[in-house]
Amino acid sequence: MAEETKSPAELSAGNFITEFIKEDTAEGGRYEGKTVHTRFPPEPNGYLHIGHAKAVCVDFGIAEKFGGMCNLRMDDTNPTKEDVEYVDAIKEDIKWLGFTWDDRFYFASEYFDKMYGYAVELIKKGLAYVCELTPEQMKANRGDLSKPAVSPYRDRPVEESLDLFERMKNGEFEDGKMTLRARIDLASGNFNMRDPVIYRINRIHHHRTGDKWCIYPMYDFAHPIEDALEGITHSLCTLEFEDHRPLYDWVINNTSVPCVPRQIEFARLGITNTVMSKRKLRLLVEDGHVNGWDDPRMPTLCGLRRRGYTPASIRNFCERIGVAKTNSVVDYAFLEHCLREDLNLNAQRVMVVLDPVKLVITNYPEGQTESFEIENNPNKPEDGKRTISFSRECFIERSDFIEEKIKGYNRLYPGNEVRLKSAYIVKCTGCKKDDDGNIIEVYAEYDPLTRGGDTPDGRKVRGTIHWVDAESYVDAEVRLYDNLFTDPEPDVGDKNFLDFINPSSLVTLTGCKAEPSLAAANEASRYQFMRLGYFCADKDSTPEHLIFNRSVSLKDSFNKK
């Protein structure tokens, strides 16, 4: 699916969700004349990942497209593992992507009183009852496709259920002792409709409502009510909720909620060589396989941000993968491709040597320094120019020199000429080694007539290498990242994703040599280190200890496919 990218015309043509919404808001449609209103409902039990970014782009993006509104709602009806830390992080990530919920920020737990009221309404209508089966008994009585479920408490008098439900709320019964079940259809082919549990007893402290409640609503009951109370017209969610839609509609149709939202499902996003469930991501963090939720190898938005991903690249990615009705796994290379496109246009070009060896230009006067003006970004002349200095000694990559020529190698070896990017053509004359045979210096002579890197006589110089002046440079630490997992689909089937952790997903280089302008790098800076890739300053980088993360390499493996 990622293989074919869409043209702008195809993009603005929309998708099946926008088609539904157009129908709904058109003349005679169910929401004729109404403002489109969506919501993004994360459960605050972890950080947002790139899969959530897709949902954010769908929810907020579609509202934006129709001139509507999108609410941000923390789905905190399940009180386990919720944390204020996550709430703040979720807000930060959505803002970073460039979306706004204005003042429409809600917690589902704000509606607990109303939900309780709607549950009582259902009991009074004979549409819900208190059941005393244990979870095991309930499971054993579920029936199968040819056999209806059995529910011995289903015909309990309304008054009795009302009384028991109130006493459930008042804490008179132990956890798990009773549930409230919707009275729908024990023979339904859709098991979600076989008198589903809509309330259970669970004595867990809630991070917002404290110990006020010891009964909590189930998702399938709570979610449609939350949507209706907020006036949501279109409740967009992922495909796993498709089989729950009849229950969603049942709750809406059988309670006196103030509006009738429409649930529409779309496919979940999966990406190769990573895992996407919050539970698995949390395990990676808690077991120390990565350095926190914002480790640049994580598919979380904070991880991608630290890695150097831009909001534009992620929104563009989400737009181009599109929304469909079939789950699919998108190649990680496509995400990288979207970042590379953005950075190719916008990143400043600089020179950094990762694995330095000194190059001495023996015919260049000692003590002399000159400077060159180079463009910050050839794709954006408006970004101006900066000055870099050049003197008798500079650093080059160790791999840009070999002692003996090999076929196809156009860089430095004795007798060969190369261009020091934007400076001069130099001819290699040899090298010096230490007692162990390691090369410690490379020697060359420059041609003063080639200032700027041009050959006035038109002679051909094939290799161009980057360099950093040894008279003025800054040291830097550089972190190179690779896939977190060696297997493209580390968690499908019965695979244990922890078995596929890539041991070389992080390589840290120290003592790298960078041109001095990089001392001013900040979190917003985006660079192309010439010939090496796109980089950004890590959040822990300081002028005294510069740290750069490789966001993505230059080579596009996506285009090749």
> Residues in the site for ligand ATP, rule: CB under 6 A?
41-43, 51-52, 54-55, 75, 237-238, 268-269, 276-278
In whole angstroms, how close is the CB of 207 to ligand ATP at the nearest point?
A: 15
If the CB atoms of residues 43 and 226 are measured against Mg ion, the closer one turns out to be 43
Q: Of the residues 43, 230, 336, 417, which is catalytic?
A: 43
| Binding-site partner at residue 356 among Mg ion, ligand ATP, none, CB < 5 to 8 Å by type | none
> Any residues with CB less than 8 A from the CB of 445 and at least 6 apart, and which?
361, 362, 363, 426, 427, 429
Query: Strand, helix or coil at 430?
Result: strand
If the CB atoms of residues 237 and 338 are measured against Mg ion, the closer one turns out to be 237
466 and 450 Cβ atoms separated by less than 8 Å = no
Q: What proportions of the chain, in percent to the nearest 5, are helix, strand and coil?
A: 30, 25, 45
Binding residues for Mg ion, rule CB under 5 A, total 1
187-to-109, 139, 155, 432 alpha-carbon distances in Å: 33, 15, 16, 86
The mark string for 71-90 relative to Mg ion (x by CB under 5 A, - otherwise) is: --------------------
C-alpha 305/C-alpha 93 separation (Å) is 9
In whole angstroms, how close is the CB of 82 to ligand ATP at the nearest point?
A: 11
> Any residues with CB less than 8 A from the CB of 261 and at least 6 apart, and which?
224, 227, 228, 232, 233, 234, 235, 252
| Binding-site partner at residue 269 among ligand ATP, Mg ion, none, CB < 5 to 8 Å by type | ligand ATP
> Any residues with CB less than 8 A from the CB of 381 and at least 6 apart, and which?
375
Does the annotation mark 268 as catalytic?
A: yes
Binding region for Mg ion (CB under 5 A) out of 35-43, 138-146, 416-424, 536-544: 35-43
- Detail the DSSP E strand segments found in 331-438: 348-350, 352-353, 356-361, 369-375, 385-391, 393-397, 417-420, 425-433
| Binding-site partner at residue 41 among ligand ATP, Mg ion, none, CB < 5 to 8 Å by type | ligand ATP
If the CB atoms of residues 38 and 541 are measured against Mg ion, the closer one turns out to be 38
If the CB atoms of residues 94 and 168 are measured against Mg ion, the closer one turns out to be 94
Question: According to the 3-state scheme, what is the secondary structure of 449-484?
Answer: HHHHHCCCCCCCCCEEECCEECCCCEEEEEEEECCC
Element (H, E) at 114: helix 112-124
| Binding-site partner at residue 278 among ligand ATP, Mg ion, none, CB < 5 to 8 Å by type | ligand ATP
Look-up: residue for tokens 């089966």? 133
Q: How many residues does the chain have?
A: 561
In whole angstroms, how close is the CB of 41 to Mg ion at the nearest point?
A: 9
Number of Cβ within 10 Å of residue 310's Cβ equals 21
Beta bridge partners of 100: none
Binding region for Mg ion (CB under 5 A) out of 8-16, 37-45, 332-340, 408-416: 37-45
If the CB atoms of residues 217 and 311 are measured against Mg ion, the closer one turns out to be 217
314 Rama sector, left if φ>0, alpha if ψ -120 to 50, beta otherwise: alpha
Q: Of the residues 181, 262, 278, 526, which is catalytic?
A: 278
In whole angstroms, how close is the CB of 535 to Mg ion at the nearest point?
A: 35
Q: Are strands 526-529 and 533-537 parallel, antiparallel or unpaired?
A: antiparallel
Return the C-alpha torsion angle 293, 277, 49, 261, nearest 10. Answer: -140
Q: What is the DSSP letter of 144?
A: B
Query: Strand, helix or coil at 267?
Result: coil
292 and 285 Cβ atoms separated by less than 8 Å = yes
| Binding-site partner at residue 55 among Mg ion, ligand ATP, none, CB < 5 to 8 Å by type | ligand ATP
The mark string for 43-72 relative to Mg ion (x by CB under 5 A, - otherwise) is: x-----------------------------
Both tokens assigned to 379: 């794709």
| Binding-site partner at residue 277 among ligand ATP, Mg ion, none, CB < 5 to 8 Å by type | ligand ATP
If the CB atoms of residues 55 and 418 are measured against ligand ATP, the closer one turns out to be 55
| Binding-site partner at residue 268 among Mg ion, ligand ATP, none, CB < 5 to 8 Å by type | ligand ATP
If the CB atoms of residues 43 and 59 are measured against Mg ion, the closer one turns out to be 43
If the CB atoms of residues 40 and 529 are measured against Mg ion, the closer one turns out to be 40
In whole angstroms, how close is the CB of 42 to ligand ATP at the nearest point?
A: 4
Binding region for Mg ion (CB under 5 A) out of 40-48, 63-71, 285-293, 411-419: 40-48
In whole angstroms, how close is the CB of 27 to Mg ion at the nearest point?
A: 37
Q: Of the residues 34, 142, 268, 398, which is catalytic?
A: 268
Does the annotation mark 43 as catalytic?
A: yes
In whole angstroms, how close is the CB of 314 to ligand ATP at the nearest point?
A: 13
If the CB atoms of residues 331 and 417 are measured against ligand ATP, the closer one turns out to be 331
In whole angstroms, how close is the CB of 77 to Mg ion at the nearest point?
A: 11
| Binding-site partner at residue 276 among Mg ion, ligand ATP, none, CB < 5 to 8 Å by type | ligand ATP
> Which of 305, 324, 280 is CA-nearest to residue 50?
305
In whole angstroms, how close is the CB of 234 to Mg ion at the nearest point?
A: 19
The residue of the chain with the least Cβ separation from ligand ATP equals: 51
Return the C-alpha torsion angle 524, 530, 531, 533, nearest 10. Answer: 0
> Which of 455, 458, 457, 478 is CA-nearest to residue 468?
478
| Binding-site partner at residue 484 among Mg ion, ligand ATP, none, CB < 5 to 8 Å by type | none
The residue of the chain with the least Cβ separation from Mg ion equals: 43
Binding site for Mg ion (CB under 5 A): 43
Active site members: 43, 268, 278
